[in-house]
Amino acid sequence: SAVISQKPSRDICQRGTSLTIQCQVDSQVTMMFWYRQQPGQSLTLIATANQGSEATYESGFVIDKFPISRPNLTFSTLTVSNMSPEDSSIYLCSVLIVGTGGFNEQFFGPGTRLTVL
Amino acid sequence: AQSVSQHNHHVILSEAASLELGCNYSYGGTVNLFWYVQYPGQHLQLLLKYFSGDPLVKGIKGFEAEFIKSKFSFNLRKPSVQWSDTAEYFCAVTVGFQKLVFGTGTRLLVSP
């Protein structure tokens, strides 16, 4: 397993501003992901954070809106840029760990609850 | 596109009642299946998983799930729920290379 921490745990922001969320893992991991969980909805993958290269974004998400950094194998940041109330969500960091038998499992951080006014 | 359907959005049960939460996926290839649980105020935790082998999978806290390939289903069950099982439950499927696709979630409320 992995211990994942996120900062901040929650924030209230004004529209038009940007917020950077940090994700720290207690061990080196190859793959890290960023998800969004909008109120009353399920989790949606935003992007895969690649170490040493640009993140891979899912359909509907773009780098200008959600820039991601992955400077090393234990840390990543997600920025929510030019925020609007529609960006109010829980943002979760996730890591992929190789489990028993070589099968991979994803573990999730505690999430960052963002409210945009 | 691949998708995961959870039929019950809200379930209310009394303690000791039996639980079954439905999950269906739409993907014809090899799948890995998961159930995650999110207790109030806590982060997402893995409840159980299926990769291969015995289609009846046992997880933590007395939960189990059965993979029925012909029905594209992976229903979650527990014979007797407790108040502490109150949580939101998410079914998820890996598609391609470790990309998790989640269902919409089921909120379970267990009354004491």
Q: What integer best gives the mean pLDDT of chain A?
A: 92
For testing contact with chain A, the best of B10, B100, B101, B106 (most A CBs within 10 A): B100
B108: closest CA among B84, B73, B92? B84
Q: Which residues, numbered 42 to 81 in chain B, qualify as contacts with chain A under a Cβ-Cβ cut-off of 8 Å?
A: 42-46, 49, 51
Q: Is A101 helix (H, G, I), strand (E, B) or coil?
A: helix
| pLDDT value for B81 | 97
Chain Cα centroid distance, residue A7: 11
Which CATH topology does B3-111 take?
Immunoglobulin-like (2.60.40)
Give, for B74, the enclosing helix (H) or strand (E).
Answer: strand B73-78
Domain boundaries, chain B: 3-111
What pLDDT score was predicted for residue B99?
76
Digits of tens for pLDDT over chain B (112 positions)? 678 999 889 999 999 999 999 999 998 777 889 999 999 888 889 999 998 889 999 999 999 999 999 999 999 999 999 999 999 999 999 876 567 889 999 999 999 8
- Spell out, as residue ranges, where chain A has pLDDT lower than 70: 99-103
Query: Dihedral sign, CA of B44, A37, A62, B101?
Result: positive
* Helices assigned H by DSSP within chain B: none
Best CA proximity match to A88, nearest among A19, A2, A34: A19
CA gap B78, B42 in Å, rounded: 21
Which domains are seen in chain A, by residue range?
4-11+20-112 (2.60.40.10)
Q: Note which residues in 29-48 of chain B have CB less than 8 A from chain A.
A: 32, 34, 36, 42-46
Retrieve residue B19's tokens.
Answer: 């639980």
